[in-house]
Chain A
Amino acid sequence: MSGHSTYEPKTGIERWLDARLPIIRFAKETAIDFPTPKNLNYWYTFGGILAVCLVVQILTGVILAMHYVPNGDMAFNSVEHIMRDVNYGWLIRYMHANGASMFFLAVYIHIARGLYYGSYKAPREVLWILGCIIYLLMMATAFMGYVLPWGQMSFAGAVVITSLFSALDQIIPGLGTAITTWLWGGFAVGGATLNRFFSLHYLLPFMIAGVVGLHIWALHVPGNNNPTGVEPTSKEDMVPFHPYYTVKDGFAISAFFILFAWFVFFAPEALGHVDNQVPANPLVTPAHIVPEWYFLPFYAILRSVPQKLFGVLAMFGSIAMLFALPWLDTSKVRSMRYRPTARIFLILFVLATIGLGWCGGKEPADMVITMGHDANNDPTGFSVVWFSRILAIYYYAYFVLILPLLGLFETPSEVPTTISTPVLPKGGSAIPAGAVAAPEKKG
């Protein structure tokens, strides 16, 4: 991160501070002067969008905690109090609830971007793994946050997710039960569970912020990947982060906020479930329980396996695949722009994941294609559970078969020698007009 600083303390106070804590120098090096490939497209703005999402969630969350009561008897009513009585409470809660969905939307695009342009490959494996850790922390945080309103869906979700650990009883009898009892603080999900989830839901976002700091650090050591996947070779390949990407990210953030605001103001409950407007009742499980949309693909994988322990393992394994990805992809070519075959398999992978999400929202016995009716007049044919089995097999095959083998057998198209080659007439090294170094000095 050193070597590109143009910081010269101008005032006496700045010189005094720079000798003691060079924080202004650090900020200028990392957020203003940082050399960035000049060809980053809008898919690369989602990192900035995600940073803003995290700030929005922490800010609205801290405010909600001022009014929320983490108590099994009072939680549901305190949320109603926020919605009806607290000044602008409805706005802040809808921002927080829909903000979680926006956060996941952005992170899925961010992950897909990384998959397409090969951003997980050397020397960015640690950067990628830190991102996977952030994603795991996000899932834990979102799950516990969804429990806090203490409605029927909150309760059922808490029961199902914590009961995943009871599958360990099939390895060591009693182990799973001991863990679930410990997680619950009782013999079932109850007030004690709610209280600890609130505590952890408040803690985890700050841990996410910490790992985001490491993620950005790990980004700034090798520098950004770019759509060509070719490492920058000269200063002419780079532009300073400010003003080029502060403006580009700023525009993308504004556009993203239009979508966010549309949900908050016009469809604030579109991504929720009506059953969560019913207070938690441990004696009744809603007829059709589904998790939030961003967990549906994993829920579908869980349900596609008829055996409890293997279903749980398949679900967690689908995320473990992401961690192993840098070592599963054997191709030396980073960007799928130059891997026409891999590109098709990745598009199918994205479609399979979306398909799994669709399956997760249906009931397992629902039909994808109805071919007739049985004696009870129930439809028969190609069921959701079979569709999700096929999609889950493809999901795994992408990681453990396709990527390892494709790198050995495919023929990539010609990879440019530099970032600039594809856009210059002679593929030369000429400096394109306008893209001079240090543009901030133009006045």
Chain B
Amino acid sequence: MVETANAEPHAEHPHGDPSRRDFIHIAAIAAAAGGVATLAWPLIDQMNPSGDTLALASIEYDFSKVVAGQQAVIKWRGKPVFVRHRTPKEIAEAKADDHAALRDPATDASRVKPGKEEWLILIGVCTHLGCVPNFGGGAYGGWLCPCHGSVYDTAGRIRAGPAPLNLFLPDYTFTGPTKVKIG
């Protein structure tokens, strides 16, 4: 009897509950949507960094051979990290521009560790489209990105070109007089 009543959902239902079929439809669709979402997430998330990639979190670097005026480029999590030994002149220039019109305002002191201001440690990835900026290029003596011409100063702050932000700072701590741990 129930079967007969349900066969015509839009008809009058003197005996049955007209919302029963609606409920079954909604429940079935919700279960299917939930099932699809549950299955889709593993298929999407598999593209995120894998466990072994995430495990490569920190490296240690001995910068004793980097003399003033030089930079070393080391690889951390697949990205270049600039370890730049700044000259007093470069530090002075960076500090002098602390209150210039900056696109991404930051003082020089906020970009180095206290007492270690000759060491500027940055992620060497242009904040525009990810190229590796060239050391010493551009009007401010910092870096010049070869791809689209972004110019960074000696504190790694963006000064000209299409990049929106300063070069990023990695998490790092000085573990000894000539050692730094990045990550």
Q: Which residues of A contact B (CB under 8 A)?
A: 156, 159-160, 162-164, 166, 170, 181-190, 192, 196, 282-289, 302-303, 305-309, 311, 363-365
Contact = CB atoms under 8 A, between A and B. Distances in A.
B79 A287 contact: no
A187 B79 contact: yes
Nearest to B45: A182
B147 interface: yes
B49 A289 contact: no
Interface string B109-151: 0000000000000001100111111100000000001111100
B78 interface: yes
A166 B126 CA distance: 11
Interface string B47-71: 1111001000000000000000000
Contacts of B162: 303, 305-308, 311
A156 B130 CA distance: 8
Given A170-B164, A188-B79, A288-B146, A308 B131 contact: no
B48 A159 contact: no
A192 B147 contact: no
A240 to B, nearest CB: 47
Interface string B7-46: 0000000000000000000000000000000000000100
Contacts of B129: 159-160, 163-164, 166, 308
10 contacts: A156-B147, A159-B129, A182-B47, A196-B47, A282-B132, A285-B146, A306-B161, A308-B162, A309-B164, A363-B149
B48 A185 contact: yes
Q: Which of B78, B124, B128 has the most CB of A within 10 A?
A: B78
A118 B110 CA distance: 59
Interface residues of B, number: 30
Given A160-B147, A282-B80, A308 B164 contact: yes
Given A156-B131, A159-B130, A289-B131, A181 B49 contact: yes
Contacts of A307: 162, 164
Given A182-B48, A283-B73, A159 B80 contact: no
B77 interface: yes
B138 to A, nearest CB: 11
A196 B164 CA distance: 29
A375 B151 CA distance: 19
Interface of B: 44, 47-50, 53, 73, 75, 77-80, 124-125, 128-134, 145-149, 161-164
A185 B78 contact: no
Nearest to B128: A308
Contacts of B164: 170, 307-309
Given A160-B130, A192-B50, A283 B146 contact: no
Contact of A285 (B53, B75, B131): B131
Nearest to B75: A283
Contacts of B48: 181-182, 185
Nearest to A303: B148
Nearest to B53: A186
A309 B130 CA distance: 14
B148 A364 contact: yes
A164 B131 CA distance: 12
Contacts of B145: 285
Contacts of B132: 282-285
Given A187-B53, A289-B147, A308-B164, 7 more contacts: A166-B129, A182-B48, A186-B53, A186-B78, A187-B77, A190-B78, A308-B129
Contacts of B148: 302-303, 364
A335 B108 CA distance: 62
Nearest to A363: B149
A283 B80 contact: yes
Contacts of A306: 161-162
Nearest to A180: B130
